[in-house]
Amino acid sequence: MSLHEVRVPVAYGELTGLRAARPGAPRVIALHGWLDNAASFLPLAAALPSLDLLLLDLPGHGRSAHLPAGTEYAATTAIHAVLDVADALGWERFSLLGHSMGAGIAALVAAAAPTRVDRLALIETLGPLAEAPAEAPARLRQAVNAARALGGKSLRVFADAATPIRARMQANQLSEASARLLVERGTLAQGDGLVWSSDPRHTLASAQRMDEARVRALLAAIACPVHVLYAEPAQSYFPDPLRHERFAVLRDGRLSLMPGIHHLHMEQPAEVAGVLGPFLSAAGHQAERAVPAMP
């Protein structure tokens, strides 16, 4: 599989990614998880059937630009990034492959721009994290305090890649090979060492979350087919029965379960490709012709 770097100019710099260009094949944009980057999909991409594939570094991740100082990351930031990249590629319609945070973003893109998304293949998350309205005051205070304290902190500098690789292995139960992929694209040189390339603001708590009713209303509005793949056992932040209850609101959903860790797509790429590859391959130009383009 041949991949090349893609750079798309946006208002705050560039969005970057890795492209496997296969004209005529189903078009798919892959969205990585929190503090990951486009390289998280390299093992899976090698195992997928022929797709016209873009692995995107979301804003403030990997090699994509950070937002300007004084601004904040929001769900709409990521939604517009996906649509901006699709526009730059000339893709009126496309499918989305998402893992964790990227799967949550993919669902929001489909809800926000239903005439542009053919299919959703989602790994380990369905919709954004939710919270009861009563938690809003504490969340807002925590977010504001943390953001104001961040300005006085400096980035940790690593002497070499070994330490951040070990950190990713321990934090996510990853193999060394998987952790190395993330670190190689997720660090940059500073002096004689390395620092994480992701924007430190991504480590802050968000200032607000939707409640569960709003999340389910958005999921119910998704018009395209959705295939959700959950790892077993469930993650603590997205437990059973919540993840099954959310799946139940989809109009056109398929559900698969697979024993494994959260980064299924990195550690078990052949198995994940066997589940999601045929689903993604079913999308393409026939669906694109059948749905009118946006005005």
Q: What pLDDT, on a 0 to 100 scale, did the predictor assign at position 284? A: 57
95 is catalytic: no
Asked if the structure places residue 143 within a domain, the reply is no
Asked if the structure places residue 244 within a domain, the reply is yes
What is the per-residue burial (b if ≥16 Cβ within 10 Å, else e) of 120-141? bbbbbbbbbebbeeeeeeeeee
Instruction: Give the rounded distance of the alpha carbon of 131 from its chain centre.
Output: 20
| Digit-coded pLDDT (tens) for 227-252 | 999 999 999 999 999 999 999 999 99
| Digit-coded pLDDT (tens) for 249-276 | 999 999 999 999 999 999 999 999 999 9
DSSP 77: H
H/E stretch holding 213 reads helix 212-220
Token pair recorded at residue 204: 């802050």
- Strands 4-10 and 13-20, sheet pairing: antiparallel
Q: What pLDDT, on a 0 to 100 scale, did the predictor assign at position 24? A: 94
| Digit-coded pLDDT (tens) for 177-226 | 999 999 999 999 999 999 999 999 999 989 999 999 999 999 999 999 99
Determine the 3-state secondary structure of 197 from DSSP: coil
Q: What pLDDT, on a 0 to 100 scale, did the predictor assign at position 194? A: 97
Whole-model pTM?
A: 0.94
Q: Mean pLDDT in the chain?
A: 94
Q: Which residue has the tokens 């380990």?
A: 124
Asked if the structure places residue 128 within a domain, the reply is yes
**CA–CA gap between residue 56 and residue 40 (Å, rounded):** 10
Q: At what angle do helices 101-112 and 75-89 cross, to 10 degrees?
A: 70
Give bridge partners of residue 53 from the DSSP assignment: 20, 28
**CA–CA gap between residue 233 and residue 241 (Å, rounded):** 12
Q: Evaluate if residue 290 carries a pLDDT over 50.
A: no
Asked if the structure places residue 148 within a domain, the reply is no
Asked if the structure places residue 101 within a domain, the reply is yes
Q: What pLDDT, on a 0 to 100 scale, did the predictor assign at position 2? A: 86
Q: Look up the domain containing 12 and give its range.
A: 4-132+208-290
Q: What pLDDT, on a 0 to 100 scale, did the predictor assign at position 154? A: 80
Number of compact structural domains in the chain: 1
**Domain at 250, CATH number:** 3.40.50.1820
Among the listed residues 40, 64, 95, 100, the single catalytic one is 100
| Digit-coded pLDDT (tens) for 121-168 | 999 999 999 999 999 999 999 999 999 999 877 889 999 999 999 999
Asked if the structure places residue 154 within a domain, the reply is no
Asked if the structure places residue 27 within a domain, the reply is yes
Q: What pLDDT, on a 0 to 100 scale, did the predictor assign at position 286? A: 37
Instruction: Kindly calculate the radius of gyration of the chain based on its CA atoms and give it in whole angstroms.
Output: 18
Asked if the structure places residue 13 within a domain, the reply is yes
